[in-house]
Each structure stands twice: as structure tokens, then as C-alpha cells.
Structure 1
Amino acid sequence: MHVNEVSKTEFKAKALEILRQVESSGDPIVITDKGRPAIEVRRYRADQRSPLDRLRGSVVELSQPFDPVGEDEWETLV
């Protein structure tokens, strides 16, 4: 997939046109700041999965989940 790039200045001048292009083509646009990629604009795609399905597989390791937590292991805001 080819990724188009536009500068912040060009995006500011043609924002509506660029957003319509992204919406119709589905191709993302990268907005650059001083020649470096800064922001990617892409079409929104709703995730139809349930929250539990989206989280499934996200826990990589769960070691000793029932061990007590010591007083000095808690982080607190003062």
C-alpha cells in the first residue's frame, strides 16, 4: 500500500479535500512536520468484537496471581 505524505502547511490548506480522499480511498495520509512523519490520518474502522474478545490473548504472563502484595510494593500518590 502506498502511503501519501503531506506537510502540515499543505494539510491546513487542504484539510477537507485530504480527509475526503482518505475516506473514499481508504489509504492513510501521513502529515509531516519539517520533513519528518508526525501524524497518520486513516479511515475509522469499528471493531465489532466484544470487549472480552479484544482483550483475549493480551495477558502475556500471570505469575503467582494469588500471592499477597507487600506494603512496600504498592505505588502511591502523595
Structure 2
Amino acid sequence: MVARVSKSQFKAKALELFREIEATGEPLIVTDHGQPKLEIRRIAQKPHNPLDRLKGSVLRYDDPFAPVGEGDWEVLK
């Protein structure tokens, strides 16, 4: 079962509750006048692959072994 805490209790014990969420992985519902308003949970970490940022950035590359000169760079024009 998901734990629930009121806003006032959350404010008083926020750091303690954060540590508990980090340790257990269980989410926490913050309520306001008995009504659920927020859910606090640990972020699921995805493995980071630096090459993912480059996917789709090269549209076409005709001759990969041809030398590149200073005049070939758009940024220098």
C-alpha cells in the first residue's frame, strides 16, 4: 500500500521522508484536507548511452574517407 502524509506532516519531515523513499523505492502520496494532491517517487534510472544524442544527426555521408578542408565546414562560412 502507498503511504500517505498530509502537507503539514510532509513539511515537518520532508528530508526524512525523502530518505525513506530513496531507500525503499515506495512512492508517497501527499494529501491536502484528505485529498491526494502529489505523488513523490524515486526516478527510475535508465542506462545512459552518450551516442543516443547523436542518433539521427547524420542524414547523409557520401564519402567518409575523403579529407575535410576548412572550406567544407558550414560553421566557418
TM over 0.5, shorter chain? yes
Aligned-partner Cα distance in 1 for 2:36–2:46: 26
Q: Deviations over 1:21-62 (max 9, x none)?
A: 0000000000001100000000011344868xxxxxxxxxxx
Structure number with bigger Rg: 2
Identity level (%): 44
* TM-score between the two structures when normalised by the length of structure 2: 0.59
CA RMSD of aligned residues (A): 1.6
In structure 2, the partner of 1:3 is 2
Runs ≥4 residues deviating over 6 A: none
In structure 2, the partner of 1:23 is 22
Task: Decide which structure has greater helix share.
Answer: 2
State how many pairs are aligned. 50
* TM-score between the two structures when normalised by the length of structure 1: 0.58
Spell out the pairing of 1:1-78 with structure 2 (5 A cutoff). Answer: 2-48=1-47
Aligned-partner Cα distance in 1 for 2:19–2:8: 18
